[in-house]
Amino acid sequence: MPTLGDVQRLYDFLRRHPTGVDSFWALLLFCMSGLAVAEQAGTTGHRLGGAVVSIALCLVVALRRRAPEKMLLLTLAAGVAQLVGDIQPNVYDFAMLVIVYTVASGHVKWASRLALAGGLLAPAAAALRWMHDTDVFRTMITVGFLTVPFILAWVMGDSMRTRRAYWAQLEERAEQLEKDREQQAKLAVTAERARIARELHDVVAHNVSVMVVQADGAAYVLDASPEQAKQALETISGTGRQALAEMRRLLGVLRTDETAEGGEYVPQPDVEQIGDLVEQVRGAGLPVDFRIEGAARPLPSGVELTAYRIVQEALTNTRKHGGPDAGASVCLTYFDDGLGLLIEDDGRGAQQELYQSGGADGMGHGLIGMRERVGMVGGTLDAGPRPGGGFRISVLLPAKPGGR
């Protein structure tokens, strides 16, 4: 017994070979037409003419999708031959309805209009040629009755053309939206990396400034106070190593040629300023519970900057998407080998598309930036809706960041 898979495979095969399907129906029509021509009354010439018209119209059915305009012209020629040769309508004239539908479903306007005109004129021409009823009213009813199938065939074909165009437009629009989404995500990553590069540059510039100041101080007290000079040199050594680590990460980032706003560098925020950030957010109307666990200690500048920006972006997203009654919590946890961040809110949360691959509509770039920042210092980030509602961001930043 055929399974559903067998039926689907057969359907796919038939769709891949439309001309073969049409040829099957043309052969079936030819067999039926042959019987009708053999039984047709009239002379041998009429039967021969009927056979020629039958072959032509069966060929129209077989090649209707490969050359619809040419087959329409062949149909018109066969119809004229029927009128001139006094070959009365027969079963093979069904091909006329088929070609009218086929041409109307295509995109060639002149062929569609010609098919409609031919379909409207064919019944009237047949009535004038073969109907000799003196009752004009009955003749008009007959002509109207015969015209309806041609009109229906053309309307169905035109509707199919409209439907295909609609689906093609939807597919094209979906492809364009997909391309736009990918482009926006790439632009967001590039812009975020450029911003990270500028901020890391600021950190390195600050460290180098410290080294210069310490070096000048060491040179000044070298003879008078060797111990202070030694401490300055140790500070220079530690700061230099930290600056080199920051520079290695900086080399892995795509940068733009933009300079800092106003051409001046400003101190970058660190973990200690997260408390001030929380107070600012509270003042803007968002309740935030802030707590610190573990023993606080200094961290590399890049790690502290990353932690601050993560909290800033997370609270900004809560204000934008959490709803009017949302609340948030921020927890900083100092571990032996790093810093943990946990930012949660009880708002509306976010759909999955907003935190994966940039979002289906170009949103979610804030989380793209978070991932870039965390990746820069060798940390990990996990973001997504909370089981009980709201959104949750969990970050682990190493105390000694590694390069990419």
Best CA proximity match to 330, nearest among 248, 395, 404 = 395
Say what the pLDDT of residue 261 is.
Answer: 43
Phi/psi at 3 (5° precision): -95, 175
CATH of domain 271-398: 3.30.565.10
Say what the pLDDT of residue 35 is.
Answer: 84
Non-local (6+) Cβ contacts of 306 within 8 A are 373, 374, 376, 377, 379, 397
Say what the pLDDT of residue 253 is.
Answer: 52
CA 292 – CA 314 distance, rounded (Å): 17
- Say yes or no to pLDDT of 295 above 80: yes
Instruction: Determine how β-strand 288-293 pairs with β-strand 338-345.
Output: unpaired
Say what the pLDDT of residue 4 is.
Answer: 73
DSSP H stretches of helix in 222-298? 226-251, 274-283
Say what the pLDDT of residue 365 is.
Answer: 54
Domain 186-263 and domain 271-398, same fold? Reply is: no
pLDDT band at residue 182, thresholds of 50, 70 and 90? confident
- Say yes or no to pLDDT of 403 above 50: no
Work out the average pLDDT over 82-92: 87
Q: pLDDT digits over 110-121, tens only?
A: 999 999 999 999
pLDDT band at residue 360, thresholds of 50, 70 and 90? very low
Structure tokens at 190: 């590039």
Instruction: Name the range with the highest mean pLDDT among 150-154, 234-238, 387-391.
Output: 150-154
List the domain boundaries for the chain.
4-130, 186-263, 271-398
Percent of the chain's residues with pLDDT above 70: 82
Q: Which of 112-116, 135-139, 147-151 has the lowest mean pLDDT?
A: 135-139
Q: Match domain 186-263 to its CATH number in 1.20.5, 1.10.8, 1.10.10, 1.10.1740.
A: 1.20.5
Chain centroid, CA 75 distance in Å:
44
Q: pLDDT digits over 301-325, tens only?
A: 888 888 998 998 888 888 777 777 8
Greatest Cα pair distance, the chain, in angstroms, is 135
pLDDT band at residue 262, thresholds of 50, 70 and 90? very low
